[in-house]
Amino acid sequence: MISTDLAIIGAGPVGLFAVFEAGLLKMRCHLIDYLPKAGGQLSELYPKKPIYDIPGYPNILAQDLVENLLEQVKPFHPTFTMGERVEILEKRGERDFILTTNMETVISAKVIVIAGGLGCFEPRKPVLSGIERFENGAGVNYMILNPQQYNGQKMIIAGGGDSALDWTIFLSDIVEELTLVHRSESFRGAPDSVSKVMELAESGKIKLALNSNLHSISGFDKLENVELIHNESNEVISVATDHLIPLYGVSPKLGPIEAWNLNINKSAIEVNTEDYSTNIPGIYAIGDINTYKNKLKLILCGFHEAALMSHSAYQYLNPGLKYTMKYTTVNGVSEF
């Protein structure tokens, strides 16, 4: 079991800044996110998008902001559970919460901070009859957590964006056989990545199925075969494979949070603007996932909410105790 002071659900920019604010108050943090890496919407949806409303930066690329935030929290040594979704939240007593993820990871925390942005990012799944049979270790995965597990195996990647292109390039040196399926004849990803994928196809290192869609999947105990259909000729071809990785992007959903007895208003969590606490003592909600009068969905506002939340959480954990913060520099290194 993982034990921490604050369990932060969501490792986007607001969740990461909450680690910094909590760290100043000597509170330990553990972050949980369904995505395979920190950064939330910034990393997953628009890493190269310039952001113009961060104080001190006339503009900064989304992924650069994430990297800066990760660097900022290093002195506080946060821990992470990535690629997992919190399914169950239990309050067993005052300052005693238990979280359980879809992978049966258990986290014990004194305070819960929901910083899930627009909610839990869930993969967009292809419409294929019986696909559920092959999820959860039987051949169909929607994100890649451990590339080496595919060593020497056959794989189909479906998608035409940066994620599909980048993984195709990377995995071409790991898998035995790789087929990239895309519904169009042109890709949406970076030109350099497109060029590399085309070179891999021309050299015979990968196979391309352009202007094609997934048609059906089959297998006994695990995935064995995927049928592809050409959009114009309607020709169906069968491809033997061990793994299918549809990379069609993600969509935000409130997910299991809806069952946690929080006050929900139009898919957002109602909070008290004094400290961004919810109707359940010890549970806070910050960032785009919360709602209140005159709410602005800005990263800057989420940072403000994280600061007030952290001070309230400190008082919740230490009733009547005043906090002290020390910031020193030793040989050019910041210490807290």
Find the mean pLDDT for residues 31-42: 88
What pLDDT does 118 receive? 64
pLDDT digits (tens, 9 = 90+) for 186-217: 888 788 889 999 999 999 999 999 999 999 99
What pLDDT does 123 receive? 77
Q: In angstroms, what CA-CA distances link 53 with 40, 303, 320?
A: 18, 12, 36
Position with higher pLDDT, 48 vs 176: 176
pLDDT digits (tens, 9 = 90+) for 295-325: 998 899 999 999 999 999 999 999 888 766 5
pLDDT digits (tens, 9 = 90+) for 229-266: 999 999 999 999 999 999 987 666 677 888 899 999 98
Inform me whether the pLDDT recorded for 334 exceeds 70: no
- Are residues 158 and 141 in contact, defined by beta-carbon separation less than 8 angstroms? no
What pLDDT does 252 receive? 63
